[in-house]
Amino acid sequence: MEGLATASKAEPIEFAQILRVHPLHSCMQFTPPQKRFVTWSLIAALLLVLLWLLGPVLTPFVVGAVLAYALTPLVDWLDDVGRGRIPRLLAVVVVELLFIIAMLAILLLMVPIVAKELPLLREQLPLLLEAVNTTLKPWLAQWGIRFTLNVASIKSFAMTHLSGNVEDIVGSLLASLKLGGSVAFSLIGNAILIPVVLFYLLMDWDRLIGQLRDLIPPRLRGATDSFMAEADSVLGQYLRGQLLVMVILAVFYSVGLALFGLDLALPIGVFTGLAIFVPYLGFGVGLALATLAGLLEFSADSGLGYTVIMVAVVYGAGQLVESIYLTPRLVGERIGLHPLAVIFALLAFGQVLGFVGVLVALPVSAVLLVAIRRIKEGYLASRLYQG
């Protein structure tokens, strides 16, 4: 009986001990690194949700921040040249005015293209349609495909919508913007807000960066400063190299199209070179403009073949020079974004931020690439990978 009593008294003690050392119980206890990881993951998730919800509102601020990052070195350079005698306010105003003038000049490149192409389009469209119908119909007939363009109806539609001058077309465009009031309001609002945001960011950029750095825990500032220095180096290399590539290609396309005798060689070439900043989209728009201009200008003289040769030679050579020599040399292989990664970044950022997302996709991807490299290095050095 005493043995049974002793066993019954010892049994609860052994069960309690089992509870204290049970694996399920120990798994519920998080280590300090795990707690920090979960906390930072929740903060990052909340920030991502907030960015997704406020995407349309954040557009002018994101664009302003990107422009401020690119233009702040120029403002600082003016401060250094003036040796303190030039107020920062004056330096910011000068830099921002120069930037606005440059953007307006790029937009005005489209004016001579539109003014020149519309009359030619009215004159040459019927001839182009007849040539396409004459060429494609017998070729498709060999494959058993019946194809006939209704040239009369297409000509009537085009003459109705292209009979006015540039002022009439601009007026109809403004009228359509009035109907889509939200689109017009968004465009006008961003056109006003972006320069205002850019002004204040240029004035207080260093102070804002310092305040953001103060929010980082002291124990993490060393790693954060190292990451930001590497990201700044990659972004600086990207922006400087991309600017040189744009200038060189603008000269190349302008000279190449001029050698083929295209009247609009200068505006189309400069626009194509500068639009390269938006990968694929800029090249595609420039290619379409050059093809349309060539068809309208050379259709009466040399026909479709001359235009195809011109576009193939100039734009094919330009694409080869850019991809094989200019981008690796000037932008550098340090960024190292795969073409598939570039396409994915453009689609992803475009989905979240619209056209603005397309503009900032590659610079932001360059920073993300630095973060991915750091994560990869940590993973390869971890016990999880090394077993």
For 290-324, how does the pLDDT look when each residue is reduced to its tens digit (9 = 90+)? 887 877 777 655 566 777 788 888 998 988 888 77
Q: Residue 74 burial (CB < 10 Å; 0-12/13-18/19+)?
A: middle
Task: Note the helical H segments in 109-220.
Answer: 110-141, 151-162, 166-179, 181-214
User: What pTM was computed for the model?
Assistant: 0.66
Residues 308/135, Cβ–Cβ less than 8 Å: no
Burial 84-113 (b: 16+ CB within 10 A, else e): eeeebeebbeebbeebeeeeeeeeebeeeb
Helix/strand/coil for 300: coil
CA–CA dist 355, 283 (Å, integer) = 16
Residues 254/273, Cβ–Cβ less than 8 Å: yes
Instruction: Provide the Cα torsion 102, 103, 109, 111; round to 10°.
Output: -130
CA–CA dist 12, 240 (Å, integer) = 74
Residues 279/346, Cβ–Cβ less than 8 Å: yes
336 — alpha (psi -120 to 50), left (phi > 0) or beta? left
DSSP 3-state percent helix, strand, coil across the chain (nearest 5): 85, 0, 15
Instruction: Provide the Cα torsion 187, 191, 196, 202; round to 10°.
Output: 110
CB atoms within 10 A of CB 384: 9
DSSP one-letter string for 227-271: HHHHHHHHHHHHHHHHHHHHHHHHHHHHHHHHHTT-TTHHHHHHH
pLDDT value at position 198? 92
CA–CA dist 23, 349 (Å, integer) = 44
CB atoms within 10 A of CB 216: 14
CA angle 109–173–107, rounded 5-degree value: 15
Structure tokens given for 81: 């040249």
Task: Note the helical H segments in 1-54.
Answer: 2-21, 23-27, 32-53
Give φ, ψ of 37 to 5 degrees. Answer: -65, -45
**Token pair 């939200």 is at which residue?**
182
DSSP 143: T
- Regions of the chain where pLDDT drops below 70: 1-28, 55-56, 84, 114, 116-137, 140, 144, 146-185, 299-304, 331-337, 339, 353-356
pLDDT value at position 361? 76
